[in-house]
Amino acid sequence: MTKDKPTVTIHGDLCKGCGLCIIHCPKEILSASDKINELGYLTTVVSGEGCIGCANCYIVCPEPGAITVVRP
């Protein structure tokens, strides 16, 4: 596993599917899914590659812990 690129993880168990991260990702790599979590929300997933580690998604997400961005 390479560690020289930023990575983003969405923790589906904490996501409430508000979509804010989708709107604010400049690379458009986040999208809505048809997965329903234990809270009953349709979750957002990482659907593309090329995360630049800008952390926009992390900043706008209202759910603590739902998004992790790691910059190398």
Residues near ligand SF4, by CB under 6 A: 8, 10, 15-21, 24-27, 29-30, 44, 51-57, 60-61, 63, 66-67, 69
- Minimal distance in Å, beta carbon 23 to ligand SF4? 9
- Minimal distance in Å, beta carbon 12 to ligand SF4? 8
- Minimal distance in Å, beta carbon 34 to ligand SF4? 14
Query: How far is residue 70's CA from residue 16's CA, in Å, rounded to a whole number?
Result: 21
CA distances from 71 to 3, 29, 36 (A): 9, 16, 29
User: Smallest Cα–Cα separation from 57: which of 26, 34, 36?
Assistant: 26
